[in-house]
Structure 1
């Protein structure tokens, strides 16, 4: 009996040892970099237990403005101190003299440190190149002056650029064939998400030293610099933004208290975004709470009378713009008396300048009788209803979209609506189901300013390798589909200018600006109410200078009372700022 028990225990012990051996092999030989369902890198974790490190650069690619300035991060020369200095007699006085940091403050910082740190982080004391070189010439172990990458506290065009975050499940889902650390940052919105695959890190740049269990140096005081040493990565994504213009635009939007809305500024020459501001801002502590993450400039909005530009284009091509014809602007589109905006009898041009609803309701119905699809056809010709952001094939990605979260616009939702005269009239003044993004409205103005040529809007011009060579270009590219004729574009240009120069035009506030402006206003009813009062979307979309177009600007204030929230002052301030900038540079 005892022999059977002994043999049984022996077998159990052998099985246990075998299982332990298999487990050890799994940990130390087989799954060293992808242990457990969490894909833990055991090699990295073991190194972390016996080292302390300071990350200089997380290795993720960078976003630059059109002039090469970093947008989301900045590189700053800083003083780095290691905690083992507290166990040494180091020349804090010399470091203090060079850096300007009081010696007692330096010593206190080191005494309280458990890990290496950049002095003053998260708002580090910036050193000059001379200070950096002089500190490093001291050759004090544990004292370094280096250039370190810091995230900006305020990121320009934050909704356009987007956010990054840690999400192990999403990381594995996106890149099942890549070996990436579990805590690798990935893009979760905006350009960060669109360009994520290009921005993934090859590895971190860091300063490392080995410690024992108590945090004391294990192999003396030698500090090691670790770098992926890849001349091509991380890449730089060169946007079309101008950082200085972007900052000024954001300041102006906030100055005029735009709570929901913003602006788009395009450079007509290369049809690219110079600045884009969306409000509300992102709540950094809880980004998914509220609408701050939403880029309002890429989301379809009710556009109101700005859509009359589309009706005007169709009317011109179908000879409905007879200069002798008068429209009864003392009536609403439903035929009832117009008490608030009683303009009397107006011709086509003056109707556009004063934004007479009756005229464009009538024209929309006449166009519907000719062809129920005409309004949609002309909205498409003017790039209002499709995606306008740059898209195309790049590397192994088909139909890559720079702005993947861009909405498409629309005119009608059903064939019944398309054939309904009353709905056609409402659509003619940009109400009912008519929607477009502010970016698409900006592109419509650029199309008209260029004489009818419609192009994709770029937010990024190219991707550059670390060494400055080009990895991928995003060239100017035409939008597919029909377009308006140069003749129609010329007549629209004159109509848009009349809005400003006509003494009663809705854009008369811009007549005396230093740049000659052409454009169209819009006040759209949203169907939303506040304290029983209707809320509106207020727009002005235009381009300038009129004779030699350079800029397109669209400003919009969303969900505001009719008595507040105009965008005229904001638009005017932007025009004056751009004029001053251009003439300072000359």
Structure 2
């Protein structure tokens, strides 16, 4: 009897095992993507997908940027109105729709039309923006009380906060299938990445894209049946990655207080086109980088905006380049600090004239630099072997990319933080440099000379460091989401293959830059400064179709007594010819703001 029961029990268990095995195989068949067998309601695979239904991305999982003090610069969570397709179901009563419309301050027909046309889940966005609207408490209450079908208030992460002006240094993200295929072809082939996933288009978003991609998005799913009708009791489900290390957090060198102070100065002076770079004088870290026209990361190409970072574009520097000519003249031995020259206002050839029509008369080399005498510096450049100008510029970090880079970053691949940085130019060719007229024009910062505002500001830092050229950083470190360090980004030197200028030469350049402010071309503009300042002005005449336009420059540092804190380059582009150079005035205003911020920081430190 016991044997009979045992035999029957064995057969029952065997039957159960067979049934479970068949069902397991069937599920595996579906999971592997082969479940296209037809049923009364369509393929098994499509039914499974239909039952998961519409997903709405709340957070892409992309890494975030912070300023040097840890303040978020990207990633602003807002409570916004989200809607899913109605799939033929009524949204709600006309009264409910009206109440939500009034809360959103739009016509009922506008809201109804938007809801009716939804073919996939979407957020309610700000006008002229792709930024999800940040609902007020009253708006949230109105949406929740309306109880519209497929409509809810959800938290979504706007990539670029409304509270911070978009920065060219950070850049933007956009869909670029060709670049996704080029950079992430392996992941696309494995279906680990969609060809339409947004990637960095400029700035740090582009240069650090491979580290920012993250490990997965946070999304909300509306669970529906095969007919795409919401399942009762299930509602919305949250799907999110579970890894405490991600998304990564990139700590930049930007100081948001300084950045916003610079933006206020530019806006207050109604500057439309140009750039400002503020570097930490101690290590060349980029504390602020402003570029105009502004960037709209949600609408690239929008009228009145420009995605190009003008701080990294090379422009003719005008008399700012006389700093290089002066250093080259001293180091080549063709001139000494106390040499005397004569300026009549005309050079006598090449159609070259001094900005001071009547001339400067008898003038020393130091005075010629302070007064920015074209005649003296054209003469120096023409007398000089052109190699001296080329080499000295290179020694001071001009005519080459100087932004932070490494051949092997933490992931083993090369990394250049400022990919858009142009290297600039001194001479177009060695043959052209043999022409005396070209050398004369080069010596005063005209002809083919091109310098970026970043390079100009960094040249000042090099002068402050007795000729040592540092490589400006835009990133301090990369951290995991839980705060742990993934990697530091150490300060690097940007050594020239020709070595560096002599400390004695650097000291003379500092003396000359101080004279520019005390008794030279910037005396009037910077006379009321609370900080002692030093620098060099420049007006570059534009050629070609912009012949009647000029670029205005000022580069300098402060305070000029004691330990300097900041080096600043100001470029005002496309100014009408004949208009006085306002760059020195803006430099003074920016320095006043920096002094104020330093004073407040010192007060806070004393209170602690």
In the other structure, the counterpart of 1:345 is 362
* Aligned with 2:517 (options 500, 515, 527): 500
Deviation at 1:289, TM superposition (A): 7.6
C-alpha distance in structure 1 between counterparts of 2:136 and 2:470, whole Å? 43
The C-alpha deviation readout for 1:136-187, integer Å capped at 9, x for no partner, is 9xxxx99988753113365645322222111233212211211202321111
> Which of 269, 284, 292 matches 2:306?
292
In the TM superposition, residue 310 of structure 1 has moved relative to its aligned partner by 0.7
Contact kept in structure 2, 1:71 and 1:156, CA below 8 Å = no
Q: Which residue of 2 aligns with 1:125?
A: 135
- Equivalence for 1:70: 72
For 1:309 and 1:337, the matched residues in 2 are separated by 19
Aligned counterparts of 1:362 and 1:396: Cα–Cα separation in 2: 51
**1:517 to 2:525 alignment:** no
The Cα shift of 1:47 comes to 3.4
SS in 2 for 1:160: coil
Equivalences for residues 203-218 of structure 1 within 5 A: 203-212=216-225, 216-218=229-231
Preserved CA contact (<8 Å) 2:275 2:311: yes
SS at match of 2:543: strand
2:541 and 2:403 mapped to 1: Cα distance? Answer: 27
Quote the offset at 1:285 in angstroms.
3.6
Q: Aligned in 2, Cα 1:61/1:580: closer, same or farther, shift over 3 Å? A: same
Distance in structure 2 (CA, Å) of the matches to 1:163 and 1:306: 32
Assess, with a 3 A threshold, how the Cα gap between structure 1 residues 413 and 46 changes in structure 2: closer, same or farther. Answer: farther
Matches within 5 A, 1:265-284: 265-282=278-295, 284=298
Cα distance change of structure 1 residues 290 and 399 upon mapping to structure 2, 3 Å threshold:
farther
Count of residue correspondences: 531
TM-score normalized by the length of structure 1: 0.80
SS at match of 1:161: coil
Counterpart for residue 480 of structure 2: 465
Superposed CA deviations along residues 16-38 of structure 1, whole A, max 9, x for unmatched, are xxxxxxxxxxx9777789xxxxx
- Deviations along 1:92-141, one digit per CA (max 9) or x if unpaired, are 9xxx9xxxx89xx99x989986787778873212569xx99xx99xxxx9
Deviation at 1:468, TM superposition (A): 1.5
In the TM superposition, what whole-angstrom CA distance separates every residue of 1:401-421 from its partner, at most 9, and x where no partner exists?
Answer: 101111112211122222222
* Paired position in structure 1 for 2:256: 243
**Structure 1's 125 and 563: CA in aligned 2 closer, same or farther, altered over 3 A?**
same
Work out the CA distance in 2 between the residues paired with 1:45 and 1:311. Answer: 75
Please tell me whether residue 570 in structure 1 is matched to residue 586 in structure 2.
Answer: yes
The Cα of 1:444 is off from its aligned counterpart by: 0.1
Q: C-alpha separation between the residues in 2 aligned to 1:191 and 1:407?
A: 16
Moved more, 438-447 or 416-425: 416-425
The alignment yields a C-alpha RMSD, in angstroms, of 3.9
User: Which moves more between the two structures, 315-324 or 339-348?
Assistant: 315-324
- Where 1:180 maps in the other structure, the secondary structure is coil
TM-score, normalised relative to structure 2 = 0.77
Query: 1:87/1:557 Cα in 2 relative to 1: closer, same or farther (>3 Å)?
Result: closer
Q: Sort the Cα spacing of 1:215 and 1:30 in 2 relative to 1 into closer, same or farther, 3 A.
A: closer
Range 329-338 or range 228-237, more displaced = 329-338
**Contact 2:54 2:84 (C-alpha < 8 Å) held by counterparts:** no
**Is 1:150 aligned to 2:165, yes or no?**
no
Gaps of 5+ in 1: 1-26, 34-41
Show the 5 A alignment for 1:279-358. Answer: 279-282=292-295, 284-287=298-301, 292-334=306-348, 340=357, 342-358=359-375
Partner of 2:597: 581
Match of 1:258 in 2: 271
Shift of 1:474: 1.1
1:69-468 matched pairs, under 5 angstroms: 69-76=71-78, 122-125=132-135, 147-152=155-160, 156=165, 158-178=167-187, 179-212=192-225, 216-282=229-295, 284-287=298-301, 292-334=306-348, 340=357, 342-368=359-385, 372-392=386-406, 393-468=408-483
Residue ranges of structure 2 left out of the alignment (5+ in a row): 1-28, 36-43, 127-131, 604-608
2:17 paired residue number = none
Distance 1:79 1:31, change over 3 A: closer
